[in-house]
């Protein structure tokens, strides 16, 4: 099967907002960052905007969380109680452990001051006095660059008492994680930050009311916070005009506003990371920017955003990259970092590998996840060995139903979604790996001889 080319004759151009400093020498240093406009939005917010005005602009922007969940950022900030006597915190979720995802890594390595600026504006907006940046432990260069940016910012009066000479005071510190995927879940992250095992918490109470150390806390992804300086500089309405508008047929739709870093990895010619307004198709991302399949191969399936979204077949790639659009297509935006599988990929092997990852990373707190993920892995291993039967596919369908939606956090759901979609869309591959079944009545005939 010959690979299909991207639909547009010319590629959709990038819109480089967060990535505008990529490729600039020394972009992670304060001197270069300030030459290119760093902290001007923070100065504007502190000098001419009230905290509630900052929150309102973020609400107008329709900025949604870029970590995978897509929750409205301004709404989340608005949940923080204004009259709480406790200190308030901003926690940056930089525990980028989703397989196939590498967007936050480059943002922290190449523009850590933009992250600090976004976090400080968020802290000003909700009245927080401390920023905790929880970084995946396997990202040593990110840790080094962000810690270096914090030292430079403190020395320049951007962090600490009287930020940039204003009445607002706020400091920041890095907390390296220990490599647990579950700590990417916001409440599991909080437990780890407090020195405990990364077990997600039952909600409510939500972190905005009772988060880090029992205090009101806003938790945002790296990419989410790095959009905030642009919103302050240009206004929420200007941000909302970028990307995809809300679906008029869905009163609950928020659309997909702004730009998004999108990556491609796996079986393609030119894996990489780019920034676009929402709306580019997955086909153009994979074929146009990812370069399409390797010589002599064809694309079989794509997971649109990290490992935890349902797969789409090659015929389904004309969907636009947006929250609503991918959900309608039966998948999800996730982290918008696509994993590409070509026609040499054995889907039975892929399922065993996926199931093993989630079984290994389950924190074990909830029975459906702790037992279910390992059970799925055993079934896929049995099918892969040639000892499976068609009844195993029915057993898997029952497991999917009894795992999804029955746990404290979404790790179990994340395990089910890609596995279920692969089993349903590539059922023939599973049946071909199974041992031959006797024809009806064959056993009775054999027994009567």
Instruction: Say what the pLDDT of residue 152 is.
Output: 98
User: Does residue 234 share a domain with residue 139?
Assistant: yes
C-alpha to C-alpha distances, 177 to 28, 100, 295, 425, nearest whole angstrom:
22, 19, 39, 36
pLDDT at site 342: 97
Q: Which of 241, 272, 305 is the last residue of a domain?
A: 241
Q: What pLDDT, on the 0 to 100 scale, is given for residue 3?
A: 46
Which CATH number do you get for residue 285? 3.10.20.600
**How many other C-beta atoms lie within 10 A of the C-beta of residue 248?**
8
Query: In 157-197, at which residue ranges do the beta strands (DSSP E only) sit?
Result: 171-176
- pLDDT confidence of residue 150: 98
pLDDT score, position 9: 62
Which structural domain range is residue 373 located in? 347-432
Question: Is residue 25 in some structural domain?
Answer: no
pLDDT attached to residue 358: 96
Residues 294 and 428 in one domain: no
How far apart are the C-alpha atoms of 356 and 337, rounded to whole Å? 21
pTM of the model: 0.92
- Strands 272-277 vs 259-266: parallel, antiparallel or unpaired: antiparallel
Query: In the chain, which stretches have pLDDT less than 70?
Result: 1-9, 437-449
The predicted-structure confidence for 342-399, as pLDDT tens digits, reads as follows 999 999 999 999 999 999 999 999 999 999 999 999 999 999 999 999 999 999 999 9
Does 190 lie in the same domain as 42?
Answer: yes
Dist CA 416 CA 136 (whole Å): 24
58 plus 192 within the same structural domain = yes
Beta bridge partners of 265: 339
Same domain, 122 and 228: yes
**CA neighbor of 186 nearest in space, from 361, 372, 408:** 408
- pLDDT for the residue 435: 72
Please report the pLDDT score of residue 133 as a whole number. 98
CATH of the domain at 171: 3.40.50.11540
Residues 220 and 78 in one domain: yes
pLDDT of residue 441: 60
* The pLDDT value given to residue 191: 97
The total of structural domains in the chain comes to: 3
Number of helices and strands (H, E) in the chain? 19, 11
Chain segment 109-164, per-residue pLDDT in tens: 999 999 999 999 999 999 999 999 999 999 999 999 999 999 999 999 999 999 99
């Amino acid at each position: 099967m010959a690979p299909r080319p991207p639909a547009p004759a010319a590629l959709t151009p990038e819109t480089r907002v967060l990535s505008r400093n990529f490729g600039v020498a020394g972009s992670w240093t304060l001197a270069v960052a300030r030459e290119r406009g760093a902290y001007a939005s923070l100065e504007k917010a502190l000098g001419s905007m009230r905290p509630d005005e900052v929150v309102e602009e973020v609400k107008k922007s329709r900025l949604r969380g870029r970590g995978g969940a897509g929750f409205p950022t301004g709404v989340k900030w608005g949940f923080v109680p204004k009259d709480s006597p406790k200190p308030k915190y901003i926690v940056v979720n930089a525990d980028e452990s989703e397989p196939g995802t590498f967007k936050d890594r480059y943002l922290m390595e190449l523009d850590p001051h933009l992250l600090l600026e976004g976090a400080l504006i968020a802290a000003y907006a909700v009245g927080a006095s401390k920023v905790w940046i929880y970084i995946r432990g396997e990202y040593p260069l990110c840790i080094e660059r962000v810690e270096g940016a914090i030292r430079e910012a403190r020395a320049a009066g951007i962090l600490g008492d009287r930020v940039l000479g204003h009445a607002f005071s706020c400091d920041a510190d890095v907390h390296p994680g220990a490599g647990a995927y579950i700590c990417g879940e916001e409440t599991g992250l909080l437990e780890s930050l407090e020195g405990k095992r990364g077990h997600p918490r039952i909600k409510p109470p939500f972190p905005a009311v009772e988060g880090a150390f029992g205090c009101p806390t806003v938790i945002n992804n790296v990419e989410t916070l790095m959009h905030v300086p642009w919103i302050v500089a240009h206004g929420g309405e200007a941000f909302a005009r970028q990307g995809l508008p809300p679906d008029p047929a869905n009163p609950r739709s928020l659309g997909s506003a702004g730009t998004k870093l999108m990556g491609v990895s796996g079986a393609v010619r030119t894996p990489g990371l780019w920034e676009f307004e929402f709306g580019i198709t997955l086909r153009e991302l994979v074929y146009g920017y990812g370069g399409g399949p390797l010589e002599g191969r064809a694309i079989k399936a794509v997971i649109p955003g990290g490992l935890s979204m349902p797969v789409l077949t090659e015929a389904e790639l004309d969907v636009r990259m947006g929250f609503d659009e991918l959900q309608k297509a039966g998948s999800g935006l996730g982290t918008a970092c696509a994993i590409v599988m070509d026609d040499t990929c054995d889907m039975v092997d892929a399922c065993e590998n996926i199931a093993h990852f989630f079984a290994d990373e389950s924190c074990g707190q909830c029975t459906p996840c702790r037992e279910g993920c390992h059970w799925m892995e055993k079934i896929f291993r049995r099918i892969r060995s040639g000892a499976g039967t068609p009844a195993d596919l029915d057993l898997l369908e029952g497991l999917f139903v009894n795992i999804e939606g029955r746990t404290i956090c979404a790790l179990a759901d994340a395990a089910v979604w890609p596995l279920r979609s692969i089993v349903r869309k590539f059922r023939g591959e599973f049946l071909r790996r199974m041992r031959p079944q006797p024809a009806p009545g064959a056993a009775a005939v054999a027994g009567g001889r």
